[in-house]
Structure 1
């Protein structure tokens, strides 16, 4: 208990709100894991009333459970494919570094490096005397032991073999984004289920292509930073939560794979469906991560 309280106290002290520590102790909010589940309304009751203070509190108490890291590797993979494999630039001296990035992305449960042709993959792992840039790529992979690992276990070549991405289906995304409802039978739960029902209808429209640029992969990326489930699964299972706020824009926390939907404040009404869905469109097309 003491260690956990010290962590909460350290966060409050760093953002000059240490006078609120007793509020946290009395409310038994005694560790950072509990803090990450607090809504804006919860934080306001604890004395953190401004948007700026809430943002700083969450930033200081955040723990990276893989979201930003996966997004970082996804950006790298996209750029590497465009700059070094479409087409291949044999004269470049960067392929050893690229090999290291490939190995790190796999080991960190990031996107798989499925950006090479089958001929190039064969040259990388099977040819005795490959071209120089392939040797460099091989050297980069082997800096983390990955080239020798694939040589010993040839079935691992599938980690590099290009395949058509599996589309995210309605069933898949609703299985991944499990809603966390309030207590059974409570008014809050009834309000949350109304919001969730609208969200499910929106997902069906997105799945059928009726939401313009929004597809289900973008919705998943908004919450988790990736458009498909990692090969080893998510370190922390994605979840869907509800928060009382003025804004009906969904927010996402990719550090903990969480999507947050708005429940109207003080028992208010939801916006008209087309208005609500436009909020969803705006969020999922613009990576809107929670600034109000």
Structure 2
């Protein structure tokens, strides 16, 4: 029995080599398991690292404020390496992107309702993956036709945002620990090289202006960047399985021999199958037992998954870039302190495009900006429903308001709920249309522009503007569903 799990890793590598060119077929059992686990787990899909590239001082300051609590983490043996500022990080990524992304376009048609299935079909095409051209995204409609939106950046950013969610929620390739996501050991995924494809997807997302897929555990990044699993600092919080994690925590926290022996009993089903663990376990060697057990379950047992992921991250030469600039690991790593995008950051990003000073239109536009920023603050403080207390809201509207946050507004305008690693191109802006017959704000995601209609109805001292914005967000759910 002690050799079974050591041999199991070799079997996975054999399967991997014999199925390099095999087609990918999703398994019904995998889908069922993923659905059950999604119901049980509290997966966090909106915690992305916002990184921006912007020359204007006001925007840089907003991004700096949004990241002031974030710490750039580097491997344990590299603590003395100088950290990089947000501007330096985004500058490196932008320069790298300009070098590795070619000027042509490669088309991809995606179903919003089946993002993972439609995306992996495209990314498994050799010629598609070998190309370094910019993606040109078209979303398939429900009527077997395509939408008319020209992809000048908005559809691509929206696709990347949906793809990040699909990778961690729908693919069945990851499971979540308290410290972030780790690869899930799946024989079918290793056979079909799904982890390599995911690495290619992540590389494409980062260098082509998508939200950073910063959801991986620090342990995953430590191994990908160093390859030295036994030198990595680990803890029970790196384990995704709740029962196993609790067992290892109990052993780690045991203060007496009796407590330790009771805790060890919960590990009887697997500890004798792993050759090399301390036996018997004592107070003197329990730390080594816990560390090596974590390394086995989180890293060694899943080595084929990590190796494929690393191979995929070679796409666009991203992994070498990360190894040369260790602080860039924030592009993939779950932050230690997770915070939502704030109303102030969104307001600063959406720079108003006013009429000239002295124009009769200017005072009205400034008042609309005040109302817009009040609405943003109400969204952040969960006060929109109170602002609309004079209205009878539908259950759908109430449900939407319970999840509404400033990231929805940014996604509505740009197709991205976070600032991409290479920044927004072009810079987002807030524009004004003086029209008495239109009331709902309009988003142009390709130009990153929010268009607000200036008229007596929206300027009135009531809740009309706020309700119109709510209606627009709900009808633009493809962009605003963060």
Per the TM superposition, whether the score is higher than 0.5 is yes
C-alpha contact (below 8 Å) 1:214/1:281 kept by paired residues: no
Q: Which residue of 1 aligns with 2:161?
A: 74
1:242-257 maps to which residues of 2 (within 5 A)? Answer: 242-245=432-435, 246-257=437-448
C-alpha contact (below 8 Å) 1:252/1:288 kept by paired residues: no
C-alpha contact (below 8 Å) 1:180/1:240 kept by paired residues: yes
Q: 2:211 aligns with which of 111, 126, 143?
A: 111
Distance 2:405 2:319 in 1: 36
1:1-292 maps to which residues of 2 (within 5 A)? Answer: 64=152, 66-82=153-169, 83=171, 84-86=173-175, 88-91=184-187, 92=189, 93=192, 94-127=194-227, 131-163=303-335, 164-211=337-384, 212=401, 213-245=403-435, 246-264=437-455, 270=459, 273-287=462-476
**Unpaired stretches in structure 2, ≥5 consecutive residues:** 1-147, 177-183, 229-299, 385-400
Distance 2:458 2:375 in 1: 18
State the shift of 1:209 in Å: 1.1
Distance 1:269 1:210 in 2: 19
C-alpha contact (below 8 Å) 1:218/1:285 kept by paired residues: no
Q: What TM-score comes out, normalization by structure 1 length?
A: 0.69
Distance 2:365 2:328 in 1: 44
Distance 1:236 1:228 in 2: 15
Q: What TM-score comes out, normalization by structure 2 length?
A: 0.43
Q: Cα distance 1:143–1:207, how it changes in 2: closer, same or farther (>3 A)?
A: closer
Distance 1:249 1:210 in 2: 20
Distance 2:197 2:458 in 1: 54
C-alpha contact (below 8 Å) 1:214/1:284 kept by paired residues: no
Q: Greater relative contact order (Cα 8 A, min sep 6): structure 1 or 2?
A: 2
C-alpha contact (below 8 Å) 1:240/1:258 kept by paired residues: yes
**Unpaired stretches in structure 1, ≥5 consecutive residues:** 1-58
Q: Which residue of 2 aligns with 1:23?
A: none
Q: Cα distance 1:102–1:269, how it changes in 2: closer, same or farther (>3 A)?
A: closer
Structure 1 moving runs of 4+ over 6 Å: none
Q: Cα distance 1:286–1:109, how it changes in 2: closer, same or farther (>3 A)?
A: same
Distance 1:277 1:203 in 2: 10
Aligned residues: 228
Q: Which residue of 1 aligns with 2:31?
A: none
- Which structure has the bigger radius of gyration? 2
Q: Cα distance 1:80–1:188, how it changes in 2: closer, same or farther (>3 A)?
A: same
SS of equivalent to 2:463: helix
